[in-house]
Amino acid sequence: MMPLEALIFDVDGTLAETEELHRQAFNSTFRAFWLDWKWDQALYRDLLKVTGGKERIRHYIQNWNPPGSDAAISKVNELHAEKTARYAALVNKREASPRPGILRLITEAHETGLPIAIATTTTPDNVVALLQSMLGDNAESWFSVIAAGDMVPAKKPAPDIYRWALEKLGVDAKHCVAFEDSFNGVQSARQAGIAVVATPSLYSSEDDFSQATSILSDLGEPDRPNKYVAGRRFKKDYVDLAGLQAFVAAG
């Protein structure tokens, strides 16, 4: 039987429905910088096709040319740093709830000694803020690898961040499972050779998940079944380590 060697988690939309908090943090940052910009939910869904906060701001400036663009383009790093701080403040108020099954599965892996990792385009500060909000102080120490932000030159859907995580973990892609909530994330993990459990989120519900190995509504709980959508099935109606071991063994 092929052993399960590691679990690798995306962050935003996968661990928790955080994208709405990001949108709010962007908008409050724009106001603080006297920019008459407002990203509504429809626009933000479109902007999320671009991974990375700084890249998203630049994309917006280049394609929408909003008022104040000429001055803002030179302040993208400042804008993003302020937005990161404002997002962390929202997370610290416990305004992001873990998605079903996430805390249970991470805790099960941690307690059994199975390596767990993060692979995300968001900044390390955002990752730490969310993990501590969900799991408590020093929660980041539970994770063998945190691959985040600008650690690699190309962000998702490029496979770079997953390949970097695999190298640091020292494991074979075929012995891992990735958890993602978006088209870009699924493409990134699959190009790195990793099986993917996709759980579409609020902002990614209309994405194309056809390349995911399994598509579920969420990871589920023993008393709160998830909904099977497509792809490979699990025997239970919630995802646990035993089910993931069988998932990997199926190849």
| Among 110, 98, 135, residue whose Cα is nearest residue 6 | 110
Is residue 12 annotated as a catalytic residue, yes or no? yes
Distance CA 48, CA 31 (A): 20
Q: CA angle, corner 17, sides to 232 and 20, nearest 5?
A: 135
Q: Which of 10, 160, 181, 207 is catalytic?
A: 10
Domains within the chain, CATH numbers bracketed: 6-16+97-249 (3.40.50.1000), 19-92 (1.10.150.240)
Residue with tokens 């701001």: 57
What is the chain's pLDDT, residue by residue, as a tens digit (251 residues)? 679 999 999 999 999 999 999 999 999 999 999 999 999 999 999 999 999 999 999 999 999 999 999 999 999 999 999 999 999 999 988 778 899 999 999 999 999 999 999 999 999 999 999 999 999 988 999 999 999 988 999 999 999 999 999 999 999 999 999 999 999 999 999 999 999 999 999 999 999 999 999 999 999 999 999 999 999 999 999 999 999 999 999 87
Per the CB < 8 A criterion, the answer to whether 165 and 152 are in contact is: no
Distance CA 111, CA 124 (A): 24
Say how many CA atoms lie within 13 Å of 78 toward its Cβ: 8
